[in-house]
Amino acid sequence: MTARWPDPDRVIIGRYIASLDLHSMKSRACYAQVLHGFQDVAERYEALDQEVLLAWLRKSAVRRAPSTLLHRTRIVDRFLERMLEMGAVHHDPVAALRDECNIKQCMPIWRALASRNPEEALAELRQPKPFGSVLGEMMAEHVAMMRRRGYKYTSQPQLLLRFDRFLQSHPGPKAEPLSAMIERWAEANVTRHRAEECEELKRVFAKIRHHHDPSIPVRRPDPRPRKEAAMQWRKPHIYSPADVRRMLDVARTYPSPRAPLRPLSAYTMLLLAYCAGLRRGELARLDLGDVDLQDGTITIRQTKFFKTRILPLPDSVVVELRAYIDGRLRAGGSQDARSGLFWHERGDGHYTPEMITWLLTDITRRAGLKPSRGKAGPRIHDLRHSMVVNRILEWYRTGINPQERLPFLGTYLGHRDINSTLVYITITQELLHLASERFRTVGAQCLSLGWEAQP
């Protein structure tokens, strides 16, 4: 090989494993076995390339199950990345294949290499180059400009990338107008939201043209496609207080013998998701230092719309939160203020948004509120909707005018304006009944006075 690795004394592998600070002897032995086996294969080849990866997979497949083998490829991935950073190798074949296929993950590359026909599997895996179409440069410059101005700008680039991939795979005639390109894209795959996406594309490209030439007037958006798509959206499920209590009971008894803290963690997550209306990402980003038990508040930092807010909590929730923190301490959780509030014993100790979604969804299924399979039924985000509706119902019952309190509720939820809060107001039969009763007692009298004043 042209690079310094592999070394005959296997010093690099030993230093690499020592730098990982693996606490388990079993883990260190597993890493050493995989990496020494990989070096045994690499030493028989002149260059570290795709042939080395294929040979190692064929040799390892004799002793290991396919699922175990694919799991061990992560060890090789990390090792090659470190060797490339150190300069011990000049080429990472996995990263090269990933760049060639224009994908970010390594696991699809390994699956393709482990298949019966690796070349065919890699060919199917290859994706078009991002922003490689005739309009790609224009779209890439616009995305970069919007992000330089401080916008997150995440959803629009995904739409532009889908349109870009279509233009690369379905090239049209030369000098084709933009309207014809969008029309072809709309006809290629008719979905219920495609008309809304086409309208969004027209709006984005009109903005791009206006940035290049301010004399071009800004296009007025057409609200009809969005309204038609909104009519087909799945309506949120409003959990009743009895539903929430059932979910909390299931969370307290959640079977988790290897992670004893998990039932209490899930219970506290549900409390904050319902009582404070927190999003799943906000739950995952909560740190231990964000909780102030003395003042009874939690701090939600830099979430949607770059907002940070301090939320007061009911006394009952503070009591449960204190019980969770005490249980977290007994379980050995880190007491660093920057450590994740929701801690578990494995990995880096943080619950990811995906882990939270899976855990709370499983609790919803066990509570009998959602089918055992599929996406049908209530979602975790519906707890946020339920918090808004049940709060308005409570205001009606206590004689408070909800219209006066909605701006405060929007601030509590972290919304940018009142329109975002109105999306969460789902009209239920009970809410409609209480609103009608309020109108009967307040508004009907005003109407009767106006009628009596007539000559």
Which residues are part of the catalytic machinery?
A: 279, 304
Separation in Å, CA 103 to CA 91, 95, 108, 201 = 18, 10, 9, 24
> Which residues lie closer than 8 Å to 89 by C-beta, 6 or more apart?
1, 3, 4, 5, 48, 80, 83
- Distance, CA of 300 to CA of 277 (rounded, Å): 11
> Which residues lie closer than 8 Å to 44 by C-beta, 6 or more apart?
55
- Enter the tokens of residue 77: 């991935």
Secondary structure in 3-state letters for 13-45: HHHHHHHCCCCCHHHHHHHHHHHHHHHHHHCCC
Choose among 321, 306, 264, 337: nearest CA to 415: 306
- Distance, CA of 95 to CA of 78 (rounded, Å): 11
Q: Ramachandran region of residue 427, left (φ > 0), alpha (ψ -120 to 50) or beta?
A: beta
Beta bridge partners of 303: none
**Contact 178/163 with Cβ under 8 angstroms?**
no
- Distance, CA of 114 to CA of 136 (rounded, Å): 34
Report the Cα 180 to chain-centroid distance in Å: 34
